[in-house]
Structure 1
Amino acid sequence: MECLKQVNPDEWENIPPLAELYQDLPTTLRCSPHKNNTDFRRKSPKQIAQNAYIGYNTPKVTTFIVIDLDYDGSIFAYHDTGIPRPQFVLKNPKNGHCQYLYRLKDPVTFFKSSRNTPIRLLNAVTDALNDVLGGDKAFTGYLAKNALNSAHEVYYTGAEPYTLGEIASYLDLPDLNSSQAEQAHNDEFYGRNDAIFNTVRKIAISIAYTGTYTQIYAQCLEWCEEYNTRYSPQLPYNELKSISKSIAGYYTSDKFRREFSELQAVRGARGGKVSKRKPAPTSEASTEPWKAMGISRATYYNRKKQGKI
């Protein structure tokens, strides 16, 4: 506990650990002054000052493990549980809830050529940290407390960046090669795969009829990457490509195009039908009494409704 030191985030440029943290942030910053909206801005001191929440990782690179502790007194949870201390502890001054930032010495990538072993280890370490610390497993890390913003109390522990293996040595991890671990991984994996697929599929209908396979695939992949950032851990890049190919393939298939054309034809027929019934010569639609009264049609029917005509 003696390693925990509060620092002033307003002076981050003059505090080496915070200045290094700034350098580690993505060039394009996912940020927001509140929790309920997200902007994408070029990283700058101005954006840091304006936004209390930021995204520490990109869709393709995880540099920080962010643990969300929704209970008072969580500032010393790492000490009480005997696990490695995070680099930073970010505390809500109103309720005492905290977030921990663990900086990885070797960031984990989600590129098409990335190895699956580090990704699986990252998943296991993150889950185990949440188990030990009582963290919120629903927290995706999409937006987290900004350690360089004075909306939060910021504490620095002096810890150096960790390898995943160093953190794992303090945790009780499952055998990543066991069938039980593989089944648990698959349950989580397929849930997120299905969620991203269905979300992007519904959005992509807007370009389904006019876009080519290449255009739909590229746009779907972009949407998949965007929605993937809401999860921690994220789906591998190859899975996002597979989802995008599946959606693009379906929306450019002859079956879909034929059924879509038939649906549009039915809708057009409904909207284009002209009533065969003509207005009666003595009806108000024919005589237009509002003209003789020098008022508008809307005023005429409004007065009639009120019993003034």
Structure 2
Amino acid sequence: MVKPALHTAAFVERLPRRPYCTDDPAQGLLIRSQATALAYRHIQHNPPPHVACLVFDVDRLDGYEAWKDAGLPAPNWITFNARNGHAHYGYYLATVVARTCAAKQKPLRYLAAIEHVLAKRLGADMGYAGLITKNPVHGDWWTIWHHGEPFSLDYLAEFCPDAELAAYSRRSRKEVGGLGRNVTVFDNVREWAYSAVREYWRPNGYEAWADAVRAACESANAFGREQGGPLPVSEIKATAKSIARWVWNRFTPAGFSLVQAYRGAKGGRISKRPTNNGKTRADLLPEVIRLKALGYSNRDIGEDLGIGFATVSRYLKRDPE
């Protein structure tokens, strides 16, 4: 049997250095050192840059039983309110998942889909923001420590029906919640950024570009209370910085000239018919060429752009339609 002290250490080592904390969420959040924050009833469980622990908010009288009823693996810990049975479940991740890095979106999309499906199966609060949790080491809660083994994403995905994971990718903005908010901000802003960056291609233009991306991220961060509310300012700042740097380094005047030259060689004959993802070939072609120049495989390009790898091959063969 694992000693409680080791369970506590496993929880604490995943915390931010200066987490949000509070005794009453309705009274607002404080930022304190980790040692001080651990004395509060609620605490931030993931650092802003990444996700190390999935937490679900199960608001029912027998909250502890939800994982059993859903046929899910036992979480690492369950903290619940003895008065009403409402519980928070914590699942440690074997590998942390970045949520503010433009270059690492695939794992975040995968995790967001898993989070959504598991929350549905648990009957958890879909509007839970995932920022703070009932502090498992605080005496006001009852905490059951099950084990200390972290979960891989692929293992958690085994408990998510393929049809439900696929349905998540077709969700509307109104259905976005949890980590899906991070994905939505990335998607909305990066699509705008691919073309908008051209307006800032000038000496010392990066600072103005970074400000524009920050404003775009703040505008995209308009999530209702039922979706968990807006993302924290720290996450938006980090996300904007990552998108600005990623797009600035990869979308250059030289690359744009290459695309224009290709279009000219085809006499402007680029199909305007929409692909399966709703975008035209004219929309996708510049990104296909750019990603290929960076060394990505046709399959990876297809997955990133939502088209088949065979379609990518046809684009690169430059066969007129």
Q: What TM-score results when the alignment is normalised by the length of structure 1?
A: 0.58
2:116 aligned residue (108, 124, 127): 127
Residue of structure 1 in register with 2:78 after alignment: 89
Q: Does 1:53 align with 2:56?
A: no
Partner Cα distance (1:215, 1:52) in 2: 37
Alignment of 1:8-19 (within 5 A): 15-19=5-9
Q: Measure how far apart 1:112 and its partner are.
A: 3.0
Residue of structure 1 in register with 2:17 after alignment: 27
User: Gaps (5+ residues) in structure 2?
Assistant: 190-206, 222-228, 248-321
Partner Cα distance (2:237, 2:209) in 1: 22
Partner Cα distance (2:30, 2:146) in 1: 30
Partner Cα distance (2:47, 2:209) in 1: 24
2:136 aligned residue (133, 147, 151): 147
Q: Does 1:228 align with 2:242?
A: no
1:237 aligned residue (224, 231, 239): 239
Higher relative contact order (CA 8 A, sep 6+): 1
For the pair shown, the structure with the greater C-alpha radius of gyration is 1
- Report if aligned partners of 2:117, 2:164 keep a CA contact under 8 Å in 1: no
Partner Cα distance (2:65, 2:237) in 1: 31
- Report if aligned partners of 2:10, 2:148 keep a CA contact under 8 Å in 1: no
- Report if aligned partners of 2:54, 2:93 keep a CA contact under 8 Å in 1: yes
Residue of structure 2 in register with 1:259 after alignment: none
Residue of structure 2 in register with 1:292 after alignment: none
Change beyond 3 A, Cα 1:88–1:234: farther
Deviations 1:195-237 (CA, angstroms, capped at 9, x unpaired) = x99xxxxxxxxxxxxxx9489569869979995249xx99992
Percent pairwise identity: 19
- Report if aligned partners of 1:88, 1:100 keep a CA contact under 8 Å in 2: yes
- Report if aligned partners of 2:97, 2:107 keep a CA contact under 8 Å in 1: yes
User: Gaps (5+ residues) in structure 1?
Assistant: 198-211, 246-309
Q: Measure how far apart 1:156 and its partner are.
A: 0.6
Deviations 1:7-48 (CA, angstroms, capped at 9, x unpaired) = 9xxxx6xx111122111111111111111211111211x331
Q: Measure how far apart 1:52 and its partner are.
A: 0.4
Report the 3-state secondary structure (helix = DSSP H, G, I; strand = E; otherwise coil) of the residue aligned with 2:13.
helix
